[in-house]
Homo-oligomer: A and B are copies of this chain.
Amino acid sequence: MNAEIQKLGNSGQSVYRRRHVKTDGRDVYLYGYSPPDREPVTEELLAAANSAELRWHPLRKEWSIYAAARQNRTYKPSSTDDPLAPSRPGLPPTEIPFSDFDLAVFENRFPSLMSGAKARPSAPDDPATIAPADGRCEVIVYTPKSTGSLATLTQERRELLVHAWIDRYSALFALGNKFVLPFENRGDEVGVTLHHPHGQIYGFSFVPAVQQNAADAFKDGFDLEAKIKSWRKDYEIESAGGLSAFAPPFARFPYEVWLAPVKLRRGPWEFSKEEIAGFATLLGNVTRRYDTYFGRPCPYMLSLHAAPQGAGNSFHFTAQFYPLLRAPGKVKYLASVEQATNIFTVDVLPEQVAAELKKI
């Protein structure tokens, strides 16, 4: 077997990973249930950005990321031009230099966070606390097909996605990242016009305040397992394989839905085989419920909230869907109040959301 290919040890399932380094130095990984042993095709040499910095907001007590090279990134590419497709003979090379794959991960060409990031040597007048934007930005391509969604992927493919996330958590923590955020932006309203089913993964060299707050709350005794059980009647939409899909009673987005293992797991890397299957099932079903309820592919943000490094054993994993619709045909806008205070105004009660989505 090709030396670049490794069998992963997740839950007794045979999952293979192949590593390939692109000519511009970026990593590509292929994942599959059988060894991805095709030969790579010829690549285009692309310049990768290597400068970005963090600045500290002294009043909000949060970091911001400055990545000026991203200003030139692809903006609303034409839909005939799919950089996430396999590189097919006779067509220009895409980001993935293989003629086929099941699931692929590659380092973002326009990253906000990067390993060995350099802050500019001098910022005018020592304006703020500045640090290099160390970390990692990856793109994760769910399928070689240019269309589809979490709802239309096969269950087998969604499970492969969970296996790949588990491997990326492990790889990005091993690189020294303190918090790893797999996420998916979906739909024009979220700023995405590349409809090839894909997500992204950010590795942060620090723990964002939002995640630190959550870690502190769990350490202080917030018991999500007991809550999920007590919310079953009024907030749960469905459950599968030990995971629950529910509208959290304190949702910030209308139609916000969380997926969580009922039992405390710090991240998907602690899931049993049944929980991996249950998570994959619910990712598909919740997306399908949204699309049915809103009568169109629902624009949403999906983020996976696993324990940051150092959070101890009490952090309970959740995956959070934030749809950008507040009713069929009505977009949810985040405006001054949300941006100035972080206080969200919600038009619909979570218990109503649960009842409506449950009916579908």
Contact = CB atoms under 8 A, between A and B. Distances in A.
A8 interface: no
A340 B65 contact: no
B250 A57 contact: yes
A284 interface: no
Contacts of A217: 58-59, 61
A122 to B, nearest CB: 11
A179 B342 CA distance: 14
A348 B127 contact: no
Contacts of A71: 326-327, 347-348
A157 B299 CA distance: 41
A335 B185 contact: yes
B250 A64 contact: yes
A123 interface: yes
A62 interface: yes
Nearest to A341: B208
Contacts of A347: 67-68, 70-71
A252 B125 contact: no
Q: Which of A231, A235, A344 has the most CB of B within 10 A?
A: A344
Given A190-B335, A301-B340, A345-B70, A58 B222 contact: yes
Q: Which of A59, A185, A301 has the most CB of B within 10 A?
A: A59
Interface string A298-334: 0001110100000000000000101000110011011
A74 B162 CA distance: 42
A74 to B, nearest CB: 12
A159 interface: no
Interface in A28-76: 55-68, 70-71, 75
A217 B57 CA distance: 10
A91 interface: no
A302 B230 CA distance: 41
Given A231-B127, A249-B123, A63 B213 contact: no
Tell me whether chain A's interface is mostly helix, strand or loop, or mixed: mixed
A153 interface: no
A301 B336 contact: yes
A213 B322 CA distance: 25
A181 interface: yes
Interface residues of A, number: 81
A204 B337 CA distance: 11
A336 B185 contact: yes
Given A183-B337, A209-B342, A125 B190 contact: no
Contacts of A208: 341-343
Contact of A333 (B179, B190, B336, B350): B190
A23 to B, nearest CB: 26
A213 B331 contact: no
A234 interface: yes
A184 interface: yes
A234 B123 CA distance: 10
15 contacts: A55-B249, A57-B250, A58-B250, A64-B343, A65-B343, A65-B346, A67-B345, A68-B349, A71-B327, A125-B234, A127-B235, A179-B341, A183-B340, A184-B336, A190-B336
Leading 8 A-B pairs by shortest Cβ distance = A191-B333, A127-B249, A303-B340, A183-B336, A124-B234, A208-B341, A301-B336, A71-B347
